[in-house]
Amino acid sequence: MILCINETAYQSSWAVSEAAATESQTESLEASVLELFDRLGLRTTRPRRLIAARVARAGASGREFAVEDLWKELLDLDPGIGRATVFRSVDLLVREGLLDRVPTGNGRHRYRACGPHHHHHVTCTTCRRVVEIDQCLSPALLERVASATDFAIEGHSLELFGRCPVCRKGGRA
């Protein structure tokens, strides 16, 4: 079953006991981002620390984000942070597998921290909520595609779009 809930309901569903788990997840993800920067020989500058903290907070809460919004939020904390620094850092985190780039169905993308396991996304075309799913294409379908195209299929990405239950119930267009 795929569950899609709006941001307000999502945020209010966190119980006080889950706050500690979220804080732990945030710290773990932030450490992973900083370790990646270090492993790649990048200095741990204030902008990179801020990026790591904000990406980790979004990841631990399950929220996705637009890079432009991330940059604007970071400007409030550090007016000198460069737009290019934020965009390049997010691109790096995608390339290294710490973030997923998720199409929203309108030609734009959002980003979210996802686990390393193979998965796909369902995006609500109304509220833009993204839900991670484990369902996948069957091996038989992949074999039929390979046979029909004469391609040796090496991987795939599946993005699904539709209206979530909340948006359908609320009558949002």
Q: What is the pLDDT of residue 11?
A: 31
Residue 172: pLDDT band with limits 50, 70, 90: low
Q: Which alpha helices (H) appear in 1-117, and where do they start and end?
A: 7-12, 16-39, 46-61, 67-77, 83-95
Q: What are phi and psi of 86, to 5 degrees?
A: -65, -50
Both tokens assigned to 50: 């801020």
Structural domains of the chain, with CATH: 19-112 (1.10.10.10), 120-170 (3.30.1490.190)
Single out the residue of 122, 88, 144 nearest to residue 4, CA to CA.
122
Residue 167 CB coordination number (10 Å): 19
Judged against a pLDDT cut of 50, whether residue 12 lies above it is answered with no
pLDDT at 71 over 90: yes
Q: 7 phi and psi, to 5 degrees?
A: -60, -40
- pLDDT for the residue 160: 86
Give the pLDDT of residue 67.
Answer: 93
- Which residue did the predictor score with more confidence, 24 or 43? 43
Average pLDDT, the chain: 80
pLDDT in tens, 29-51: 899 999 999 999 999 999 999 99
Least confident of 76-80, 90-94, 151-155: 151-155
Q: Which one, of 132, 140, 54, lies nearest residue 89 by Cα? A: 54
Kindly state the average pLDDT of the residues 103-124: 77
Task: Give residue for tokens 């509220």.
Answer: 127
How many Cα neighbours within 13 Å face the side chain of 112? 22
- Smallest CA-to-CA distance from 49 within 21, 85, 12, 10 is with 85
Give the model's confidence band at 9: pLDDT under 50 very low, under 70 low, under 90 confident, else very high.
very low
Residues 159/125, Cβ–Cβ less than 8 Å:
no
Helix, strand, coil content of the chain in percent (nearest 5): 50, 15, 35
